[in-house]
Structure 1
């Protein structure tokens, strides 16, 4: 399994529009992409404009499928409007353990 972690800061005044956009992307990723196993969006407890996404994909091909999906294009357009430039950090890693 491949983990994709995304950390970013949302522009003040854009939080609700951002949340609507990422909610749609997360839901479509999970329901429309067979290789997407998990997509969680969390908000920092002390900064309600700082978000982290925890995404799990079956393999690297599933990550590429995600990045080429139509809903991802819509998400990227929204991110260009709502995310503070230079704050988004994407990290790909291999999931080693999972506890449920």
Structure 2
């Protein structure tokens, strides 16, 4: 089961004052994750017009071990520091697996 891709869906709540700097931190983490980590194939930073203070991260890792490695990177530590400094509320983190093959 360790070779099963792991999909993370994390939801955060910002404020009008913290939304922009938090998005900067999310985007940097996203870029570094996909560029620097062989085990990260996708990292989307999502928002909706209906809930402007909600930020959702959709991340796809080759395995749970690849996600563990992600959490040890300098860019994840910078992201985590931004969450703490900006006092961003973590709403939920879901660890999911895909039950059908990914589209080609």
TM-score in terms of structure 2 length: 0.87
Matched, 1:38 2:42: yes
Matched, 1:76 2:94: no
The alignment yields a C-alpha RMSD, in angstroms, of: 1.4
Question: In 2, Cα distance between the equivalents of 1:2 and 1:99?
Answer: 16
Question: In 1, Cα distance between the equivalents of 2:10 and 2:87?
Answer: 12
1:83 to 1:11, Cα distance in 2 relative to 1, 3 A: farther
Residues 1-100 of structure 1 aligned to structure 2 (within 5 Å): 1-85=5-89, 87-97=90-100, 98-99=102-103
TM-score in terms of structure 1 length: 0.90
Unaligned runs of 5+ in 1: none
Higher strand share: 2
Aligned residues: 99
Unaligned runs of 5+ in 2: none
1:8 to 1:60, Cα distance in 2 relative to 1, 3 A: same
Q: Which runs of 4+ in 1 moved over 6 A?
A: none
